[in-house]
Structures are given as C-alpha cells and as structure tokens.
Structure 1
Amino acid sequence: MRTTDFMNMNDIKEIKDIELMVNRFYSAVREDTMLGPIFNSIIQDKWDTHLDKMVRFWQTILLQEYTYKGSPFAPHRKLPIEANHFEQWLGHFNNCIDQHFKGPKADEAKLRAEKMAQMFQYKLANNSI
C-alpha cells in the first residue's frame, strides 16, 4: 500500500463500511489453510446467513445500531480451536482493517476483536458457558 492510499482511507462510519469489513475479512478466513476448513465445515452453504449475522454484530458494536441479538461465544464453544487459531484470526482481521480503514472506529474494531479473542480463549480454557 502506498502512503497516499493510507492517507485517503476513511474510518468505519456506516453500514456499507461494516459490510466491506465483514466480507473482506471472511473472504480471507475462508481461503486460509488453517481457519478455512473449520469455518467451511461448520457453516457449509450458509455463508450468506453467517455474513449477515456478522454484519449485524459489528453494526451493533461499532455503530451502536442495535441489530444483533445473541451470544457470540456459544457457537464457538465446541470448535476445535486453540490459541494459534485466534492469532491467525486476529491477523486476518487486523490486516483487513488496516487495508481498508483508518481512524478511531477502525482502532476500536481491532481492540474489540482482540478483547473478544482473549475472552473466547479464557472461556474455552475454563469450560465456561
């Protein structure tokens, strides 16, 4: 990325930004040799439904537009995932944000994703619900 590209990037401000973030991030996850098989085996042909849910989740978190209801941890509780999976997931997430956005909401998205990964790992290690 050129410096001028970075300077022209906008922050996450509206639903179209959330949609871009979610779609680009999960595109990378689906193609990842470690994460892709896990996600693809669980989600199968329901990617549209999953992506819509993830858009609503991040819309709620970052834009305070309360469209998501549910527990983000519960679906992940029985997945075969460990610390290295979370590191890979965060790497893709942060790369996606850095490639497309710059600003306080972009920074918040990365911080929230890191905190979520830490919380999920803690709950998985302690068999929490």
Structure 2
Amino acid sequence: MIPVTSVAPQRADITRRIQDETGIDEAMIARLVDGFYARVREDAVIGPIFAARIADWTPHLEKMRAFWSSVALMTGNYHGQPMRLHAPLPIDARHFDRWLALFETTAHEICPPKAAAHFLERARRIAESLELGIAIGNGALLGKGERYRRGDEPQPAGAR
C-alpha cells in the first residue's frame, strides 16, 4: 500500500505535467463546463433531460467543474458516482452522441487543440462507459461496436 503522504505530491506532479503539455487549467475547465452546459440547456435532445432534474444550475456547474478537473488534470477534486446518477436516466446512444457533439463543439471553440484533444479523448471514454453501464443495467449486453438503443432490451418471457 502506498502511504497517503506520498499521493498528494505525486498527484500534484501529474497535474503540473498535464497542464504543461495541454495548457489546461481550472479557468479553462470553468469556461468549457459553463459553455457546454449553456448549450445543453438550449438543446432539444438532451436539454429536457437536464431540465427535468436540475432546478439550480450553480451547484451542478460547480460539481461538473470538479469532475472535469479530476478527469482532465487528475486533481482528485471530484468525489461522486457518475454511473449511479446516470443509470436511472431515460437515455441511450442517441443522447450520448448528442452530448459528445455539443462537448466537442464547445471544446474546439474554447480550448487550444492539445487541450481540446485531451478533453475529447476522456469525454469519449466517459460516454462509452456510461452507455455500456446503462445498457447492462437495463439487461442489454452489447457486443463490440454495438450501441445501446432503448427498446432493444431483452423482453421477459411471454412479453411482446
């Protein structure tokens, strides 16, 4: 087991290295998150899903800034369970595709190329992981390259 005292300096070194390589900092993360969620709120596909669950955007944006700080810079600022929060949502491949399209547009507008690529690589992995988890949670086993579409879940015996 690694002593706790050695984790913080290692994490700080990793964060500095990523910042040096990509130019990402907390201010860029805040601009990306705020710009992205401004688009989300206006979007016809995923906007209603968020609107039905988020009344006060301030705490959500703070949480998402911490999440992306942890994801992009390895800061450890986020301590949540994204799968647990997303599993009950009525979402599928179409929603993840739209989420990624909005995120990609925002990242390319706000971030320099290396930073955008860094964010997008992680966003794609997150979307893939969440989609797979939601599919499994709904009884759908996806093969390599398959996408989850609501309504494709296995039906109980005798149903149809």
User: Which consecutive residues of structure 2, in runs of 5 or more, have no partner in the other structure?
Assistant: 1-21, 139-160
Q: Percent identity?
A: 33
Whether 1:50 aligns to 2:63 is: no
8 Å contact 2:72–2:122 — kept in the other structure? no
Deviation of residue 64 (structure 1)?
2.2
- Secondary structure at 1:80's aligned position in 2? coil
* Contiguous gaps of at least 5 residues in structure 1: 1-10
- When the two structures are superposed, what TM-score results if normalisation uses the length of structure 1? 0.85
Partners of 1:113 and 1:36 lie apart in 2 by 18
Distance in 1 of aligned mates of 2:23 and 2:68? 10
Q: Which has the higher helix share?
A: 1
Structure number with larger C-alpha Rg: 2
Runs of 4+ aligned residues of structure 1 deviating over 3 Å after TM superposition are none
Q: How does 1:1-129 map to 2 (within 5 A)?
A: 11-44=22-55, 46-127=56-137
Report the more deviating stretch, 77-86 or 97-106. 97-106
1:14-48 deviation per Cα after TM superposition (whole angstroms, max 9, x unaligned): 1110000000000000100111111011112x210
Shift of 1:12: 4.5
How well do the aligned residues superpose, as a CA RMSD in angstroms? 1.4
> How many residues are aligned here?
117
Q: TM-score, normalised by structure 2?
A: 0.69
Select the structure with the greater relative contact order (CA < 8 A; seq sep ≥ 6): 1
